[in-house]
Amino acid sequence: MLKLNLKNESSTLLLGAAIGNTINSLNPKVFEIHLNGNLGAGKTTLVRGTLQYLGALDAATNNAGLLTGAVADNGQVVYKSAGYVCLAPAAPLQGVACTNDGVAQDVSGNRVPAQQDLSYNIAITKTFLTGNGAVDIRLSRKYRGQSYADIWNNERSDIPESKNGDLLVSYRPNDGDWYVNGFVKNLDDSRDLIYLRAGSNFQGGNLYGSITEPRTFGLMFGTKF
């Protein structure tokens, strides 16, 4: 592991410029850097030096605070500063307004978020009568078709189809006030993504998702009084 002792802001900016030079020599579309450090360690200055070298910061935004950028698959650079997103370098909180806040997109024909073309939940219940009581067996099956988490219907928001089943067996005696249930949830033991939500731009736009629980077994006892 390489260790560098950066004595001042100028040294940190020079290191940032060196990183920018490395990014330029590689493929910036797939380049990703993660920074970790205490408050005041110089992370913002390092990023500023990198972006200055790459031409992402001009004189107006030079000292406007943290400004980050990302390159999309189509080559478009998107900048973010304190939650604001712009297609040109900007820092609204510091008075540097966004001069290009986006391009209108036609979403006609796109799927409504979280809506499937097909979904169903069916169940079959069979009751077996015995000399001492009744046994109910219920088998259910659930299917959710593919959907998207946002109106843009992009690959990042894709929620694949999911399917699983449950089994419930119940016993009630004829002359008793109690019952016992046994169940198996998620018979397929599948791990399906069933929900996605994007965080705010201020949080970085991270995705939060939920997946189905693994196969579980259980017993339940109850009584009436």
Q: How does residue 59 score in pLDDT terms, banded at 50, 70 and 90?
A: very low
Is there a domain that residue 191 lies in?
yes
| Domain count of the fold of the chain | 2
| pTM, 2 dp | 0.60
pLDDT in tens, 127-138: 999 989 999 999
Is there a domain that residue 101 lies in?
no
Query: Quick one: 129 and 179 in the same domain?
Result: yes
Query: Quick one: 66 and 141 in the same domain?
Result: no
Is there a domain that residue 33 lies in?
yes
- How much of the chain, in percent, has pLDDT values that exceed 70? 82
Select from 75, 59, 85 the least CA-distant residue to 67: 85
pLDDT: which is higher, 147 or 48: 147
Most confident of 87-91, 113-117, 173-177, 197-201: 113-117
Phi, psi (rounded to 5 degrees) for 146: -65, 145
- The tokens 């198996």 sit on which residue? 184
Query: Quick one: 127 and 215 in the same domain?
Result: yes
Is there a domain that residue 3 lies in?
no
CA 169 to chain centre: 37
Query: Quick one: 66 and 131 in the same domain?
Result: no
Predicted confidence (pLDDT) at residue 87 exceeds the cutoff of 50: yes
For position 68, what pLDDT does the model report? 67
Is there a domain that residue 168 lies in?
yes
Is there a domain that residue 163 lies in?
yes
Query: Quick one: 219 and 125 in the same domain?
Result: yes
Question: Which residues, in sequence order, are CB contacts of 199 under 8 Å at separation 6+?
Answer: 205, 206, 207, 208
Q: How does residue 64 score in pLDDT terms, banded at 50, 70 and 90?
A: very low
pLDDT in tens, 137-162: 999 999 999 999 999 898 889 999 99
Is there a domain that residue 47 lies in?
yes
For position 169, what pLDDT does the model report? 97
Query: Quick one: 79 and 173 in the same domain?
Result: no
Domain of residue 67 covers 9-94
